Amino acid sequence: MEILAYGVQADERPLLETAFAGRHSLRCLSVFLNRDTAPLAAGYPAVSSSVNAELDAGTLAALAAGGTELIVQRSTGFNNIDLDAAAGLGLTVARVSHYSPYAVAEHAWALALAVNRRLTRAANRSREFDFRLDGLLGRDIHGMTVGVIGTGKIGECFARIAAGFGTELLGWDIAPNPACLDLGLTYTELPELLSRADLVSLHVPLLPSTHHLIDAAALARMKEDAILVNSSRGGLVDSAALVEVLRAGHLSGVGLDVYEEETGVFFTDQSIQGITDDTLARLVTFPQVLVTSHQAYFTRTAVGQIIEATVRNVDDFAAGRRNGNVLVPGN
């Protein structure tokens, strides 16, 4: 099959090309898939999209009109895809159901440690030969109460690392994870977790029920010197409310690998023209905030597994097979 891959990162491209070599014809583009770029796929029976693609009804209609039959997204999340519209157009849509949970959990801890110990500020000072310790006072992770919101595979990995630090573990989810219970994690209601935790990390999917799960009321429940980490989906946090909380001097650290309006910004170079998103611009100015560009998944192990699953999705479609990654079976 001929495949057009959108949103391919420079480090990802050789891995994709090697994986598809000798199996399917692959063309890689750095631009993201949306209504404006969908016409580029005309004549391609399959397209591969990245997590920041905008697969709304209009984009899907343009793909279908150009002859596309298969969409394989290189991510687990699919909240950016209008599945009902895809079904109505007869498109087959598949994703990557899982990849290394360690990649995301480890990055979440990297964010937590960095904001706790003020590493960004310290590194910036060192480059200017300023070696003072003023304003760099952190806290021991050992002995903290850590709240894990979402205790699936990634949340479990995050909890295992937390247990290694010697923390008290609290969890919130729709169902308990026996592995987390074995770690000594105690499940609580969300308000209690937020009020007791010194560090809160988010690991739930973005659903209508979890949109702005961390809103103004939730932020108000958190300790004044708490740390908040989000490496899951940007829409879990009400960003405007977060800015107001930070303006009031609440929260000692915030680590964000995702942002609710990241599409069209993350994975791109905005250094020359700047950004027009006032909320994001404000967030990155707070000294206790660290923002990374949706890179928690970006390890050789995880990307390799994502590509393997993507190749398998294309192979199975070409052979008339359906696997567990299919979200919409098509016609």
Q: Give the residue numbers marked as catalytic.
A: 233, 262, 294
Question: Residue 260 corresponds to which tokens in the numbers above?
Answer: 């609710």
Q: What's the residue count for the chain? A: 331
H or E element, residue 306 = helix 300-318
Nearest to 148 by CA among 138, 137, 160, 139: 160
- Side-chain-facing half-sphere of 282: CA atoms under 13 Å: 12
Secondary element (H or E) of residue 88: helix 83-88
Give the other-Cβ count within 10 Å of 292's Cβ. 17
Is 65 in contact with 41 (CB distance < 8 Å)?
Answer: no
- The helix/strand/coil state of 49 is strand
Q: At which residue do the structure tokens 């069209």 appear?
A: 264
Closest CA to 62 of 83, 86, 78: 86
Q: Is the separation of the CB atoms in 159 and 183 below 8 Å?
A: yes
